[in-house]
Chain A
Amino acid sequence: MRNSEIVCIVCPKGCRALVREKNRRVEITGTECARGAEYVRNEYIEPMRVLTTTLTVESGGKRRLSVRTDGKIKKKLLIPCVRYLKTVKAVPPIHMGEVIVENMLDTGMDLIATDEVE
């Protein structure tokens, strides 16, 4: 059995939800809406986040290229991804939304440019 407290961020209210796990059943109390319960459940099972960071630009006017994953990845993979991206250089020209790294570290998500570099 595991208990954990998760703050819901679906709305500004910030409900504190309590999650109890017993016999592989997850029980959630403390949320006030279905969306909140859904969020808390997902957050409990496997928290997912969008990674945003910047990459070195090989040449060109800008020094850094801002990037993000094209969807949420497992939270525990954020730091390994950032470490990996230290080895990646963006080569201009780069367009908004362009895929820089496909299926980054097998997360199932691409890394896309969130800016342009000529």
Chain B
Amino acid sequence: MKNISEDREKSGIFPFNSACDCDKEGIRDGELSKAVFDVVVIGAGIVGSMLLRELSRFECEIAVVEQFPQPGFGVTKSSLSYIHRNHFNPPGTLAAKLCAGARKAFRKLSDELRVDYKETGEFLLALEPSHIPQMMKRKQWGEQNGETGFRIMKGSEVLRREPEVNPAVLSAVYSSGHGMIYPPEWAFALVENACSNGAHAFFGTKVIGIAGNDDGLFTIHTGNGTIRSRFIVNAAGNKAAKIASMTGDDGIELTLSRGTFAIFDKIHSSLVRNILYVGGGDPAVSQVVGPTVSGNLILGLGSFKTPDSTEDTKVTRESLDEIIAMGRDIVPDLPVTDIITFFAGIKSVNNLEEGGDFHIGYSDLSRRVIHLLIGSPGVTASPGIARHVIDLLSDGGLSLVEKKLFDSSREKKEDDWDKGQKWPCGRIVCRCENVTEATIQNAIERGARTIDGVKHLTRAGMGRCQGGFCEGRIIRYLSEALGIEPTEITKKGEGSEQIKGME
């Protein structure tokens, strides 16, 4: 078995720990294979990251293991990025319970972690009579879940507020205060803050097996070595069933759905100001047109088809045609020629089936293993899920003593955007998104290891030219900072090397 520490550079384990309080007794990276953790979280998506950060408040040794080179590279990266009001979950369900208070939690975290969170309004549109009961059901659910402020609007008022909406609109349910975030950026900041409070993060580290031991510890086998832990939280998203089978919990099946998204050029940032759903607007299956936190227009979802596998994030011709047709239902003059990127994401949607719900609970075999089988809206529920899992861990026997010196704020290095001015100062590298050299260097220092990683943290390469002018420089910065050859720099982890040689 390979030792984790030997493979550290190659596997892309983060420098997060360099920021941790190393005076503390106990774990150092060099001793990880011998180390014993109290809790290991599997998966650093938005849910795993949120949990890690909340767990880092307590006096226990915690770690996250993640197969991808950075937090939020899985489902999190391809999610709709809205913090919904609690009107998509049937009253009385666990999902509804965990989504309660989400916006408040995100607002607070946004201040603490200094990551972007903005709010906007939402219309559930009735474009035909059959949509009316669907949208009214959402209003009713929302109110039963304790939300207020839903307003029914006539079509004419909808059009006054959103002139681009299909003029056939009959009526709508409007509500304000829906949050918008960029989830990969959040996942990163959450892990970063957790690590500065003593947590450990292992990236590029895929779990391949889990074994129970006589000494009451679990041994987690990974592609980079083994880690031992008293408790395991399975937050592996789409791969949660696979991880569950490793702990002996067979027979769990996730229903997977693939959604397709299109992002439009920023010149259309004011085309619509609110999130526009049709009818009941289910966040996993319905069509939506809306703004993003960074000022693009997003068109999404539609395709409700079970993909071939958990990693099958192909964009298909049918799904492209489908979302564009659906988008045109909402906004007839959708500027399709100004779409700058498409992507597809897969999520589990068990809870959206009739009578379905989130399933968060102990393994059949041990109260020290917790499986998270969740679905949409996972991002919205993530703070609630973290609190809930901590309660379960506590009930399962983990003693939780709050740290005296928990630092809830993430130290954000001042970069070119921080000086309170409208325009960045510094050498602009990404000309479409005005990202400077210092901002990119800062992201690499924080732990971005791949081209996509830099993109998630800085938006460099995310704009209309999609990296046409800046990618060479970003490869060079990464290569210089990491001390590896440019040919070893990947787009999104091993196997995705972006260039094939040097001239």
Q: Are chains A and B native binding partners rather than an unrelated pairing?
A: yes
Chain B residue numbers with a CB within 8 Å of A54 are 503
B residues less than 8 Å from A52 (CB atoms): none
In the A-B complex, the 3 residue pairs with the closest CB atoms: A54-B503, A64-B503, A56-B503
Please, how many angstroms separate the alpha-carbon atoms of A56 and B503 in the complex?
8
Q: In the assembled complex, how far is the CB of residue B487 from the closest CB belonging to chain A, in whole angstroms?
A: 14
Question: How distant is A63 from chain B, measured CB to nearest CB, in Å?
Answer: 9
**Can you name 3 A-B residue pairings with CB atoms under 8 Å?**
A54-B503, A56-B503, A64-B503
Main secondary structure of the interface of A (DSSP, over half): strand
As a 0/1 sequence over residues 459 to 503 of chain B, the CB contacts with chain A under 8 angstroms (1 = contact) are 000000000000000000000000000000000000000000001
| Majority secondary structure, B binding face | loop
Give chain A nearest CB distance to B470 CB in angstroms. 16
Which A residues are CB-close (under 8 A) to B503? 54, 56, 64
Residues of B within 8 A of A64 (CB): 503
- What count of chain A residues pass the 8 Å CB interface test? 3
Contact with B along A51-84 (1 / 0, CB 8 A): 0001010000000100000000000000000000
Contact partners of A56 in chain B: CB under 8 A? 503
CB distance from B278 to the nearest CB of A (A): 51
What string of 1s and 0s marks CB contacts (under 8 Å) between B210-241 and chain A?
00000000000000000000000000000000
**Which residues 267-301 in B have Cβ within 8 Å of A in the complex?**
none
How far apart sit A54 and B502, CA to CA, in the bound complex (Å)?
A: 12
Tell me, in angstroms, the Cα distance from A70 to B503 when the chains sit together.
Answer: 22
Name which residue of chain B comes closest to A54, CB basis.
B503
A64 to B503, CA, bound (A): 9
A56 shortest CB reach to chain B, Å: 7
User: With the chains together, A54 CA to B503 CA distance in Å?
Assistant: 9
A83 to chain B, nearest CB (A): 13
The smallest beta-carbon distance between B110 and chain A, in angstroms, is 41
B159 CB, nearest partner CB in chain A, Å = 51
Query: B499: shortest Cβ distance to chain A, in Å?
Result: 13
For the complex formed, measure the closest distance between the CB of A66 and the CB atoms of chain B, giving whole angstroms: 12
CB contact list, A38-54 vs B, under 8 A? 54
Look across to chain A and name the residue whose beta carbon is closest to the beta carbon of B472: A63
Specify the chain A residue showing the minimal Cβ separation from B502.
A56
Nearest residue, chain A, Cβ from B476: A63
> Shortest CB–CB separation between residue A44 and chain B, in angstroms?
33
A59 vs chain B, min Cβ distance (A): 16
Can you name the residue of chain B whose Cβ is closest to the Cβ of A53? B503
**Whole-angstrom distance between the Cβ of A2 and the nearest chain B Cβ:** 37
Closest to A56 in B: B503
When C-beta atoms are compared, the residue in chain B nearest to A63 turns out to be B476
Q: How far is the CB of B503 from chain A (nearest CB, A)?
A: 7
Bound complex: CA A11 to CA B310 (Å): 55
Tell me how far the C-beta of B381 lies from the nearest C-beta in chain A, rounded to whole angstroms: 48
Name the residue on B nearest A86 (C-beta).
B503
B485 CB, min distance to chain A CBs, angstroms: 14
Question: How far, in whole Å, are A109 and B503 apart by their CA atoms in the complex?
Answer: 23
Smallest CB–CB gap between B475 and chain A, Å? 12
How long is the Cα–Cα vector from A84 to B446 in the complex, in angstroms? 43
**B272 CB, min distance to chain A CBs, angstroms:** 44
Question: In the complex, A31→B503 CA distance in Å?
Answer: 40
- Nearest chain B residue, comparing its CB with the CB of A64: B503
Closest-CB distance, A51 to chain B (whole angstroms) = 15
